[in-house]
Amino acid sequence: MHTIATFKLTATTLLSLAGPPSIAKKLNVVATTPDLAALAREIGGDFVDVTALAKPTEDPHFVDPKPSSLVILNRADVLIEGGAELELGWLPPLLDNARNDKIASGAKGRIVASQGIHMLEIPATFDRSKGDIHSLGNPHFMVDPLAAKIVAANIADHLAQVDPADAAAFKANLQTFSSAVDRKLVEWQKALEPHRGAKLVTYHKDFVYFAARFGLDIVAELEPKPGIAPSPAHLAQVISAMQSSKAKVILVQPYQNRKTAETVARQTNATVLDMPEQPGAIPNTNTYFQLMDHLVQTLAAGLEEKQ
């Protein structure tokens, strides 16, 4: 991993990277992760240029900082973060060095996606020394379509404050997005309805909101705690939980250890399903709707096959 100290911005690097001034003045919107970037594109439309700091195949908790991220943050008009300490391990040092008041905490150009979300799994007591990284509750809410609507409204509100001249367009785009979510949600619920109550295993606690929305039952995680690598003793417990609950699918994301999941699957006659939560991690999942279509279809097909 790089150290941020080596990336401190100088006036010279900024000038050399600035390039010619653009004619159409679009808002520079920076999102920490591609799912938030996808929503910013839906709401900002033609009035924004959107960049995500994390790659779709990167763990949003552990993003490798790049020198270019500092330049991107320095020029941002708006920053969208997941919040609830999702990016605690990598965003604060970048922001310290990016020197941009427009996206400072509390500024109208700073959007915290978790604001207004009904957070699940807020710990009663928390001890960071135990390694848990979900200190303020579970931050993986974007795969609940109703949570995505709340985030979209938050984005529209802030874009209108930063760029009042285009507020009507942001409002209209929000309306379009929200109506489309309502329509698609009916379709997604119908596709998963035959699997209501299905038992699932995940690698990380990253499908809690998805499971709650679609009536699914997560019986175990391969990680003993969020952010802690699976141990043999813990995996033995997972295998026994899968055998007694008859869970037949294990959901993994691209940055998680698929081999570990496969080992567990072999011993439980289960199937490993690739369920990326970030748009663009696999082909044809660039928009929020394409991503959710993929998640719903992959899970429905995987559960169908195991019946």
Closer residue to Zn ion in complex, CB, 226/279: 226
- Cα distance between residue 74 and residue 96, in whole Å: 10
Is the CB of 85 or the CB of 163 nearer to Zn ion?
85
- Residues 10-49: x where in contact with Zn ion by CB under 5 A, - otherwise, as a string: ----------------------------------------
- Least Å from the CB of residue 61 to Zn ion: 5
Q: Which is nearer to Zn ion, 166 or 221 (CB)?
A: 221
Residues binding Zn ion: what is the number (CB under 5 A)? 1
Q: How far is the CB of 134 from Zn ion (least distance, A)?
A: 6
Question: d(Cα 302, Cα 212) in Å, to the nearest integer?
Answer: 19
Stretch that binds Zn ion, among 17-25, 39-47, 226-234, 293-301 (CB under 5 A): 226-234
Q: Which stretch binds Zn ion (CB under 5 A): 112-120, 195-203, 221-229, 239-247?
A: 221-229
> How far is it, in rounded angstroms, from Cα 51 to Cα 32?
8
Give the nearest distance from C-beta 84 to Zn ion in angstroms.
9
State the Cα–Cα distance between residues 134 and 139, nearest whole angstrom.
7
Q: Which stretch binds Zn ion (CB under 5 A): 9-17, 66-74, 174-182, 220-228?
A: 220-228
Stretch touching Zn ion by CB under 5 A, among 11-19, 104-112, 219-227, 239-247: 219-227
Q: Which stretch binds Zn ion (CB under 5 A): 7-15, 74-82, 165-173, 224-232?
A: 224-232
What are 161's two structure tokens?
A: 């404050």
Stretch that binds Zn ion, among 20-28, 211-219, 222-230, 264-272 (CB under 5 A): 222-230
Burial of 157 from C-beta contacts in 10 A (0-12 / 13-18 / 19+): middle
Report the residue number, 83 or 226, with the smaller CB distance to Zn ion: 226
Q: For residue 225, what is the DSSP state?
A: S
Q: Which is nearer to Zn ion, 83 or 109 (CB)?
A: 83
Sheet containing 78-81, strands listed edge to edge, beginning at the edge strand earlier in sequence: 48-52, 27-31, 78-81, 110-112
Rounded Cα gap, residues 163 and 157, in angstroms: 10
**DSSP secondary structure string, 241-277?**
HHHHHT--EEEE-TTS-HHHHHHHHHHHT-EEEE---
Alpha carbon distances (Å) from 294 to 22, 262, 275: 36, 21, 8
Residue 10 CB, nearest distance to Zn ion (Å)? 35
Would you say 103 and 79 are in contact if contact means Cβ atoms under 8 Å apart?
yes
CB 221 to Zn ion: min, Å: 10
Listed in sequence order, the residues at least 6 apart from 229 whose beta carbon sits closer than 8 Å to its beta carbon are: 223, 257
Report the residue closest to Zn ion, judged by CB. Answer: 226
Interface positions, 84-123, toward Zn ion (CB under 5 A): none
Contacts of 217 (CB under 8 A, 6+ apart): 197, 198, 199, 200, 211, 245
Taking the complex as a whole, the smallest distance from the CB of residue 122 to Zn ion amounts, in Å, to 14
What is the Cα–Cα distance from 70 to 2, expressed in whole angstroms? 13
The minimum distance between CB 261 and Zn ion, in angstroms, equals: 16
Minimum distance from CB of 140 to Zn ion (Å)? 6
Applying CB under 5 A, which residues contact Zn ion? 226
